Amino acid sequence: MSQTPPNSGWQGGPQGPGQQWNAGQPQGQPGHQPQGGPGQGFGRPQNSGPQGNNFGQQPQGGPGQQGQNFGQQGQNFGQQGQNFGQQSQNFGQSGPQGQYNQNGPQGQFNQGQNYGPNGPQNFAGDAPAKPKSKTKVIVAAVLGVAIIAAGIGLAMFFFRGATPAAAKGLPADVSFAAELNLAPANADKLALKNILDKYPSLKADEDFGNDYKKALYSTLTQNDEDAPDYDTEIKPWLGDSIAVGSTGTTEEELSDNTNMIMAIETTDKGKAEEFAKKEMDGAKVQFIDNLMIVTDEASSLSADSIKEASLADSEQYKADMAKLGDDSLASVWFCSGMIDASLQQIEEQGFDTGTVDTSTMQGMHGAAGVKVKDNKLSVEIQVQTPNAPDLKDAADTSGVAKNISGDSLVAFSSGVGGDINQAWDMLESQPDMVESLKQFGIETPDDLKALLGKQMTMSLDWDEDSQMPVIGATFETENAEKQKQILDKFNEMLAQGSGMEGLEITQDGNTGIVAFGQSASDVLNPGSKLGDLDGFKQVVDGKAQSILFVNVAGLKERSFFQDMIQSGDTTVSEVLDPINAIGMTANAVDDHYTEAFIHVTFD
């Protein structure tokens, strides 16, 4: 049994180096951002935090967008991330004051005083507001964190529990659930503290000792003079688990407050109910055993109906969460209904999905959790895509990835598995693409497979003398003869256009090679290798059909990066200083599940 570390000195919550933590949209974050945010419906603290730069950013493409095969292996999970963000972007977005990140500076809450979607109204949105009351902090904090959870941001690592008890307080038909546990294991807490200590600006003025809940609460409400006092009004009843969800699936339904539900585990129902009556005007509060269920007062949801069919009893939910295991710091689960509604919305709005076959994404559901071990912070993603091709036969590329140049700033490897005909069918939906490929002798699915082979690698570096990129790529094939014919055609077409200085396209045995800014020999036999880097070893420690690696340690040593930092905002430097590497791995597993991991390793 783990023991409480002596004087753990929990130092506050997730602010961001040099700035206060913000549960809202990080500056510069790619992808679709949750504009409305689940924090709308129930209200949140004023000025919950100035602009912040969460440790992680929502991946726009995610594990599904790193190369063609990698996209298949990830089953376009990146697309799901985008759609998920789209679906969550309008929670409570009806009114001008209640909007998240609409009328205020980027990355900062800009909200009204009271509950309701239309500014100064009550929770239900149809009665006059009371005079300014204390901020509804508990609800606001959880919903604010739910925004991050929906984006699978790394700031989620301040919570624990893959299956918190509060999941029993959500109905089985919720489209998503953000689940938090406020009682981290001592080992996890110590690991988090060791990471936080690498960021001096994260240290709070007050030493909260081992009181994790108070540290979090104080961080989230430090700029709110009207926040209820934690020791006298929150601590006496707050339990260890919180869950937030919505029964809506479409954008309109998700923005409807009556579809939102929150369950809070309590230690004293009487004191919790007293707090709710005082601080949650307009909300309907019910209890299931020791769980306090909070909904819009106009919601028809009852405690009895949740008891009859709770999320914790859902077979789909249980299967996805079982894949994650029980050692997550936080978890997010989404049902197939949310993805299907997103795909329908994309179709109705006429978005161009390019070569992505959205029909393979129908029925997708899954979960994500954040885990910490020693100096490595990880996001684990488990997604089942029943209609996608089975890619379990894709090659393990961890071996070839280790042989990529250790000087690479970014490296990628992927196995090519599954039915190549499906990839070809998607290409055929783009006639211009097919015509371009035919110029190089790629006229059939077999031609495409001959070129790509069974596994591929790519790397990117930067030559500071020539101020040019250094690129290397390899394609290991089972049809060397056909691959050589295609590569020769590439060289022929390049020669007709006077070629490209510094570009070499050749073949060595059964491996096609593309080199720019270096020789093909350097690509195959680099002076240093990724497999020798500590950061890479931490990221890739087993089978990996797809790998994306960012050599942060190498990047920080480059003069062009130092010049960029010195001439601009130091925030990026402050965030990256303690980080050694960032990496992602993915594998196709049984029953059409894809597991992916996003790792951040620290010095």
pLDDT above 90 as % of the chain: 37
Are 13 and 205 a contacting pair, CB within 8 Å?
no
Domain that holds residue 263: 39-368
For tokens 């964190």, the residue is 145
User: What is the number of structural domains in the chain?
Assistant: 2
pLDDT of the residue at 411? 97
- Distance separating alpha carbons of residues 586 and 287, to the nearest angstrom: 41
Residue-wise pLDDT for 495-504, tens only, equals: 887 667 889 9
Same domain membership, residue 191 and residue 263: yes
pLDDT of the residue at 85? 36
Residue 20 lies in a domain: no
Are 394 and 70 a contacting pair, CB within 8 Å?
no
Give the SS3 label for residue 370.
strand
Residue among 200, 220, 225 nearest 13 (CA):
220
Same domain membership, residue 406 and residue 524: yes
Enumerate residues 6+ apart whose C-beta is below 8 A from 270.
none
pLDDT of the residue at 511? 97
Same domain membership, residue 414 and residue 287: no
Cα–Cα distances (Å) from 96 to 34, 42, 59, 120, 537, in that order, read: 16, 15, 28, 10, 49
Residue 161 lies in a domain: yes
Residue 377 lies in a domain: no
CA-based Rg of the chain, rounded to a whole angstrom?
Answer: 25
Whether residue 331 is predicted with pLDDT greater than 90 in this model: the reply is no
- Distance separating alpha carbons of residues 21 and 51, to the nearest angstrom: 8
Average pLDDT over residues 343-355: 72
Residue 7 lies in a domain: no
Same domain membership, residue 425 and residue 279: no
Give the domain-ending residue among 335, 368, 401.
368
Give the domain-ending residue among 368, 399, 429.
368
Same domain membership, residue 268 and residue 417: no
Residue-wise pLDDT for 165-192, tens only, equals: 678 999 999 999 988 777 778 888 788 7
What is the chain's length?
603
Residue 493 lies in a domain: yes
Give the domain-ending residue among 368, 400, 430.
368
pLDDT of the residue at 200? 78
Angle at 138 between CA 134 and CA 139, to 5 degrees: 95
Residue 378 lies in a domain: no
Same domain membership, residue 325 and residue 416: no
Same domain membership, residue 234 and residue 164: yes
Residue 384 lies in a domain: no
Residue-wise pLDDT for 529-573, tens only, equals: 999 999 999 999 889 999 999 999 999 999 888 887 777 767 788
Q: What is the number of helices (H) and of strands (E) in the chain?
A: 21, 16
Enumerate residues 6+ apart whose C-beta is below 8 A from 418.
69, 72, 389, 390, 391, 393, 394
Residue-wise pLDDT for 282-297, tens only, equals: 789 999 999 999 999 8
Same domain membership, residue 461 and residue 588: yes
**Number of other CB atoms surrounding residue 201 within 10 Å:** 11
Residue 8 lies in a domain: no
Same domain membership, residue 422 and residue 315: no
Cα–Cα distances (Å) from 538 to 36, 530, 546, 548, 580, in that order, read: 37, 11, 15, 13, 10
Same domain membership, residue 433 and residue 360: no
- Distance separating alpha carbons of residues 157 and 378, to the nearest angstrom: 9
pLDDT band for position 598 (50/70/90)? very high
pTM, two decimal places: 0.70
Average pLDDT over residues 352-360: 68
Same domain membership, residue 592 and residue 491: yes
Whether residue 73 is predicted with pLDDT greater than 60 in this model: the reply is no
Same domain membership, residue 173 and residue 108: yes
pLDDT of the residue at 421? 76
pLDDT of the residue at 339? 84
